[in-house]
Amino acid sequence: QAGWPGLIEAYRAYLPVTDSTPVVTLHEGNTPLIPLESIAQQIGRGVRVYAKFDGLNPTGSFKDRGMTMAISKAKEAGAQAVVCASTGNTSAAAAAYARRAGMRAFVIIPDGYVALGKLAQALMYGAEVIAIEDNFDVCMEIVRALSERYPVTLVNSVNPYRLEGQKTAAFEVVDELGDAPDWLFIPVGNAGNISAYWMGFCQYRQYGRCDRLPRMMGFQAAGSAPLLNNCPVAEPQTVATAIRIGNPANWERAIAVRDASQGAFDAVTDEDILHAYRLLGAEGVFCEPASATSVAGLLKVQARVPDEATVVCVLTGNGLKDPQSAIDHSKATLKKGITPNLESVAAALGF
């Protein structure tokens, strides 16, 4: 097969698949590790900063890594339908992979708190979408109960195959850097991805593919930071709707990752998140607000990062998912009403 075959084929030896697993793939993975020059320069002291831009996966988020595994294994087991709760990205990925595999996809979302692009994707891929007038945590309770009662496979990150797929992002980072980074900054919502990255780094080290293990720095939005406060948040709020989660499903696992990696959970304000979102934009990298949480986290604790350290910030989703946030929060002005001739346009541009 020419080109990148998708992550199951690329990392087959490290994944729980066999020759009889039907591989459902959109050739996800192999996303770029982009140096963030101006952010590194701002920090100084020889610190190297990279973005793992997982917003360049086929449906525009890291969820594709988990979904190629979860849907392939569901198909192998004979499932005909899958279900998930979602703040948007999981629903898009579940819908795309499930429909590709010929299954029904049921998605339960918090009404009014899913970015438009994500909703458009779920509908276009052919999911059956139910919008509930409550938050993600309630959607999660409903889908757990639904999957226990009815013949539908749950594909949220409590499905172990999701994390197996997502751990491959850590493999790719190591393959590119030659070792694990010293520090990894990552947005945390349901806490699946931080757990998956840690699995990946640990497994690669067991196989002798890296020496280091990174300090895992999980960042939540201040209005939605149960892990930092060690207490569920009943009514989480943040501009970063993707991580508007008050009771993460992978809570214990995430605490174990923090402890084993000598990392930390911390929170950044919506203002910090939007600042990082714009900084990334100005570096040519358009991610969604939740993703910018990792860079906001790095900027917050930069004084603690040692000289010459290698830092990776995970950018989980594509900026195109959420055009309204970009339009609302970019500092650029759209000039309208200019007379359509050379002089007026040149004058408006300040020439």
Residues at the binding site for pyridoxal 5'-phosphate are 89, 189-193, 316
Q: Cα 219 vs. chain centroid, distance in angstroms?
A: 12
* Token pair belonging to 211: 């020496």
- Shortest approach of ligand F0G to residue 222 CB, angstroms? 16
Instruction: Out of 15, 243, 279, 298, point to the residue binding ligand F0G (CB under 6 A).
Output: 243
* Token pair belonging to 222: 């201040």
* Token pair belonging to 50: 């990279």
Q: Which stretch binds ligand F0G (CB under 6 A): 187-195, 272-280, 305-313, 341-349?
A: 187-195
Instruction: Out of 68, 86, 159, 238, point to the residue binding ligand F0G (CB under 6 A).
Output: 86
Number of DSSP helices (H) and strands (E) in the chain, helices first: 15, 10
Residues 6+ apart with CB under 8 A from 203: 14, 167
Q: Is the Cβ–Cβ distance between 73 and 106 less than 8 Å?
A: no
Whole-number CA gyration radius for the chain: 20
Tell me which residue of 250, 325, 343 sits closest to 289, measured CA to CA: 325
* Cβ atoms within 10 Å, residue 315: 31
The nearer residue to ligand F0G, 43 or 292, going by C-beta atoms, is: 292
Residue 31 in contact with ligand F0G, rule: CB under 6 A? no
**Pairing mode of beta strands 33-35, 48-53:** antiparallel
Please work out the total of residues on this chain that contact ligand F0G, with binding judged by CB under 6 A: 22
Instruction: Out of 23, 210, 242, 274, point to the residue binding ligand F0G (CB under 6 A).
Output: 242
The nearer residue to ligand F0G, 147 or 157, going by C-beta atoms, is: 157
Instruction: Out of 192, 200, 246, 319, point to the residue binding ligand F0G (CB under 6 A).
Output: 192
Residue 189 in contact with ligand F0G, rule: CB under 6 A? yes
Site for ligand F0G in 288-327 (CB under 6 A): 288, 290-291, 316-317
Contact residues for ligand F0G, defined by CB under 6 A: 61, 63, 86-90, 157, 187-193, 242-243, 288, 290-291, 316-317
